Amino acid sequence: MDAIGVIIFVVALLVSVMLHETGHFVVAKRFGMKVTRYFVGFGPTLWSTWRGETEYGIKVLPFGGFVKIVGMHSLDDPDDPDDEARAFRSHPAWQRILVLLAGSAMHFLLALILVFGLALTVGIAYGNTQVGTLSSCVPVSLNAYDNGSCTGSHVPSPAKVAGLRLGDVVTAVDGHPVTNFNQLTDEIRPLPAGTPVTITVRRDSKLVNLHTKVAHIPGRSGSYLGVAYSGYVFQIPSPLGAIEYSGTTFGQVLAGSAQAAAQLPGELHNLFNKNRSKTGVVGVVGAAEITGDEVASNQGWQYKVTDVLLIIASLNVFVGAFNLLPLLPLDGGHIAVIVYERIRAWLARLRGRPDPGLVDMAKLLPVSFSLFLILIVFSVVLILADIINPVNITGG
């Protein structure tokens, strides 16, 4: 099962690469640019075929892919001078930027489709409403709440006052039905502290109404009941709910990716630490291992499918966002160059001077090569860490 999970991840990664390059390819063709090559992988060619003016093929090393668009920059002259009109650099800036954005857009689109499909088929995993943990007190601070501590508190929790028991299934709050823990907290949190509430629970196949008053924890927004769920329940939302879930998940992953990128320098020393956590910096090999572990776990099929699809979706969001960083040789770096060209041309017009034209990429080659080398070294270090010091699937 571990091997199946790894294979699923590798196939998903190759599909993502192909979609990235397809994004560049389709948009470039749409604007009339000449695309001469569309390849998956690097190194010697295993197979290729020509369709019209484009060669399609597969390379030996399946670690990426590329699309060759004529005239990508000032150093790339067409083999045929007649192709200059169809060269990338000959097209308006907005068209060139759209071609460059198309690769990351495909990653984002794939992630959204995966999460949307997950919601409408497997369902969204919510905490259930069966009481799995009961707090005996109202924590005196946010820190005490985070640590589950009752130290210094002499105020019984609303759940304890109500007489809730482990195993009770909450079915309603003040007569409003709840079917998952999110709905339960949505009913409790907006209430002012001290508001009386009626909690309806299913206990021993009977419905029981329990009464209490919600409390407030200093430093924490919203009111507090003092219960936590015992497990998860999968519920299929409406199409609009699935769209909302997709957008929310996308935003959370994007924010998490930005946070992870900001923490990269500080996390490097943890790559070879004992009990390395899967919540830290993980490379492609580590992500494949995590996927394999999830598939081989003893969880139900819904949990496995959810975890695997969210891993793949998260990978695509991260790669799409990372690729837009304004660094050469990433697409974002090329976009930054085009933006700079247009700003420089605008300033030249203001001064009554001619358009300076394309940026001399020869001057940027040392910067581009240096950043490319850093990315390669970092990727190799991550792969070595994933192999020598695999992530702890139970960590974090």
Instruction: Name the active-site residue from 21, 187, 289, 341.
Output: 21
Q: Other CB atoms closer than 10 Å to residue 369's CB: what's the count?
A: 12
362 band by pLDDT with thresholds 50, 70 and 90: confident
- pLDDT (tens digit, 9 = 90+) per residue, 1-30? 578 888 888 888 888 989 999 999 999 999
Catalytic residue list contains 21: yes
Least confident among 78-87, 258-267, 340-349: 258-267
**Residue of 206, 167, 173, 205 whose CA lies nearest to 190:** 173
Which secondary structure element, helix H or strand E, spans residue 40, and what is its range? strand 35-51
Task: Please give the residue that has the higher pLDDT: either 352 or 296.
Answer: 352
Segments of the chain assigned to CATH 2.30.42.10: 127-235
CA–CA distance, 283 with 16 (Å, rounded to integer): 16
Identify the bridge partners of residue 200 per DSSP, sorted by sequence position: 172, 209
Q: CA 39 → CA 70, 98, 334, distances in Å?
A: 15, 21, 20
- pLDDT (tens digit, 9 = 90+) per residue, 322-336? 899 998 888 999 999
Q: What is the pTM of this model?
A: 0.81
Task: Please give the residue that has the higher pLDDT: either 74 or 111.
Answer: 111
Q: Supply the CATH classification number for the domain 127-235.
A: 2.30.42.10
